[in-house]
Amino acid sequence: MTTDAFKALTVETLPVRLGKLEAMRSRVGDDIAAWTVREVGDGNLNLVFIVEGPAGGVVVKQALPYVRLVGDSWPLPLKRSFFEYHALTRQEARDPGSTPKIFHFDEAQALIVMEFLSPHIILRRGLIAGNIYPKIGRDLGLFMARTLFRGSDFHMETKHRKADLALFADNVELCDITESLVFSDPYFEAKLNRHTSPQLDSLVAELRADRDLKVEAQRLKHLFAANAETLVHGDLHTGSIMVTEADTRMIDPEFAFYGPMAFDVGMALANFWMAFFSQRGHEKAPGDRERMRDYLLGVIVEAWSVFRAEFSHLWRTERTGILYEKSLFEHQGDRLASEQALDHVLHQLFDDMLGFAGVECHRRILGLAHNADFETIEDADLRATCEAKALRFGRHLVVNRKAIHGIEEVNNLAGLIE
């Protein structure tokens, strides 16, 4: 089907259309009449099918030529599937075992056949349910350090890095979504915005009139757009992580592009802080989410600490690219210089990460794409109380990030706002 014009799959047509693929038959079974197909896409953009049969199951993800959440009035290129495929292969090479295995890619049909993660669930749903996953802080920290470091000029051969930068530079439309939806729309009355109203109206007006906040948000957008530092996942929130107690996988990197390392880290941690602020909205009895709240702050500390430690380890052992060359430092016996440079890099990354975390909190409450952590709180007053805390927290991070010195300090602030 590679050369055929694009056609969206349906539950009915999938077995016939994909039934000849060895990648499917060997994993699902040769008798396509015995395949069962379900469409399970709960995301904003694409079709996701689970195909099961006598031999096992696979997932088929297919892009649509428009934004699923909005419909065909908002066209979006199929080539996002190409970027997702290439990002997945790079992430697998840089942090083996952290993504679903890829079995087949068809560029014209914009589809990826991949490992069916089961009994995994989306982390965000697990956190809303109050589940504790002991490994996610560590796995997320390692994933971010390995993919971000190994995709950058700290590590890669410059020829490969520049070629890869060129390849992903074409992911224009998905970058444009982030540029608008994350960095600009939340800060004015953009058409697709919504918020819990009227409860948040006055706070929203205050934020949209906040000059310091808007200038800082635009400085962060500038960084996002202009600092092509590494291959970022681009959409690394708790809805892009699938988990069991024993396993963690990162999915859905269709927004991948060369951008600042701190973007992935900030977006990821922001979603844990928002989960923290949402917990009171999910209490069945007063205080019954206290353990969950402590757990979430602990995940943030662990993810950041593991990120730092692994990044530092890679700095010392895999710094083979064009930056901070060892010939200038270690090879002259000056290890202190390389450690000093590492401190600068990590300090800047921390500041930027906090800024990106702050805007992520804002866009999830003021913009188009809200998150289920808050959305599933049915009582609008209670939801607004939780959201207001995250908005104030986000504002503090964006405006005051340079005066914050460690991850524990951020968690203390979150606790105080609570």
Shortest CB 322 distance to ligand ADP, Å: 34
- Return the residue of 103, 116, 133, 324 that touches ligand ADP, per CB under 6 A: 116
- Which stretch in 5-13, 87-95, 190-198, 245-253 sits in contact with Mg ion by CB under 5 A? 245-253
Q: How far is Cα 164 from Cα 232, in angstroms, rounded to an integer?
A: 12
Contacts with Mg ion by CB under 5 A: the residue count is 5
Q: How far is Cα 287 from Cα 280, in angstroms, rounded to an integer?
A: 8
- Return the residue of 156, 236, 251, 377 that touches ligand ADP, per CB under 6 A: 251
Number of Cβ within a 10 Å radius of residue 245: 12
What is the b/e burial string over 119-136, where b = at least 16 CB atoms within 10 angstroms of the residue's CB?
ebbbbbbbbbeeeebeeb
- Return the residue of 43, 151, 234, 358 that touches Mg ion, per CB under 5 A: 43
- Which stretch in 57-65, 85-93, 253-261, 316-324 sits in contact with Mg ion by CB under 5 A? 253-261
Shortest CB 333 distance to Mg ion, Å: 30
Catalogue the long-range contacts made by 23-27 (C-beta closer than 8 Å, 24 or more residues apart): 23/58, 23/103, 23/104, 23/113, 24/51, 24/58, 24/103, 24/104, 24/113, 25/55, 26/55, 27/55, 27/56, 27/57, 27/58, 27/103
Spell out, one character per residue from 192 to 231, where the chain touches ligand ADP: x when CB under 6 A holds, - when not. ----------------------------------------
Q: How far is Cα 247 from Cα 266, in angstroms, rounded to an integer?
A: 22
Query: If you search the block for the tokens 């951020």, which residue do you land on?
Result: 410
Q: Which is nearer to ligand ADP, 29 or 100 (CB)?
A: 100
Taken in order 229, 233, 234, 236, is the CA torsion positive or negative? negative
Q: Which is nearer to ligand ADP, 59 or 354 (CB)?
A: 59
Q: Are 162 and 331 in contact (CB under 8 A)?
A: no
Show Cβ contacts of residue 354 under 8 Å, excluding neighbours closer than 6 positions: 266, 397, 398, 401, 404, 410
- Which stretch in 36-44, 86-94, 287-295, 399-407 sits in contact with ligand ADP by CB under 6 A? 36-44
- The partner in contact with residue 187, picked from Mg ion, ligand ADP, none with C-beta cut-offs of 5 to 8 angstroms by kind, is none
Query: Does position 252 bind Mg ion by CB under 5 A?
Result: yes
H/E element, 12: none
Query: Does position 252 bind ligand ADP by CB under 6 A?
Result: yes
Show Cβ contacts of residue 317 under 8 Å, excluding neighbours closer than 6 positions: none
Shortest CB 292 distance to ligand ADP, Å: 21
- Return the residue of 51, 88, 117, 256 that touches ligand ADP, per CB under 6 A: 117
Q: How far is Cα 247 from Cα 47, in angstroms, rounded to an integer?
A: 24
- The partner in contact with residue 40, picked from Mg ion, ligand ADP, none with C-beta cut-offs of 5 to 8 angstroms by kind, is ligand ADP
- The partner in contact with residue 395, picked from ligand ADP, Mg ion, none with C-beta cut-offs of 5 to 8 angstroms by kind, is none
- Which stretch in 44-52, 86-94, 345-353, 360-368 sits in contact with ligand ADP by CB under 6 A? 44-52
Query: Does position 122 bind ligand ADP by CB under 6 A?
Result: yes
Query: Does position 42 bind ligand ADP by CB under 6 A?
Result: yes
Q: Which of 305, 306, 240, 300 minimizes the C-alpha distance to 275? A: 300
Q: Which residue is nearest to ligand ADP (CB)?
A: 43
Helix pair 261-278, 335-366: axis angle to 10 deg: 50
Q: Are 77 and 255 in contact (CB under 8 A)?
A: no
Residues of this chain that interact with ligand ADP (CB under 6 A) are: 40-46, 48, 59, 61, 100, 114-117, 122, 240, 251-252, 254
Residues of this chain that interact with Mg ion (CB under 5 A) are: 43, 45, 252, 254, 402
